[in-house]
Amino acid sequence: MKTQFNEDRYELGYDKPLWQLTMQEFIDIQKHEMTKLVKEMLNEALNDIKSRDVPLEDTIDIEEAALVTGLKPKSIYSKVCRLEIPSITRGRPLVFSRAELQNWMKIGRPTVAEMEFKRRKGLL
């Protein structure tokens, strides 16, 4: 029969010396202490991450490009082959510029050829 862990009983002032604890009591205390430590460490890490003002990286992979554009990776591969979406690389692994993709979506998702034509005309 498994006993329930009584948190207030086993705080740092145990009512029994360590050598008098049963194996289950010792395991329960260890689990409790480890849980507290992990929670503290996670909270510190989350607070550290939240306190940093880290800009998003500009170069992204196919998975992040799918999140940015809302397209499936398979569709993105097809669009890269047909020069319908801007990318930094054409082969695998595909690499994209987050800013370029966001600009591409903002101006109506033109093909790369249309974008190049507009760039040469000075419209972009």
User: What per-residue confidence (pLDDT) applies to 88?
Assistant: 87
CB 119 within 8 A of CB 111: no
User: What per-residue confidence (pLDDT) applies to 117?
Assistant: 81
User: What per-residue confidence (pLDDT) applies to 56?
Assistant: 56
User: What per-residue confidence (pLDDT) applies to 12?
Assistant: 45
User: What per-residue confidence (pLDDT) applies to 34?
Assistant: 94
Closest CA relative to residue 95, chosen from 56, 72, 65, 53: 65
Whether the full predicted model's pTM is greater than 0.75, yes or no, is: no
User: What per-residue confidence (pLDDT) applies to 7?
Assistant: 55
Q: Which carries the bigger pLDDT value, residue 49 or residue 98?
A: 98
Helix (H, G, I), strand (E, B) or coil at 26: helix
**Quick check: 9 pLDDT over 70?**
no
The burial of 66, by beta-carbon neighbours within 10 Å (0-12 exposed, 13-18 middle, 19 or more buried), is given as middle
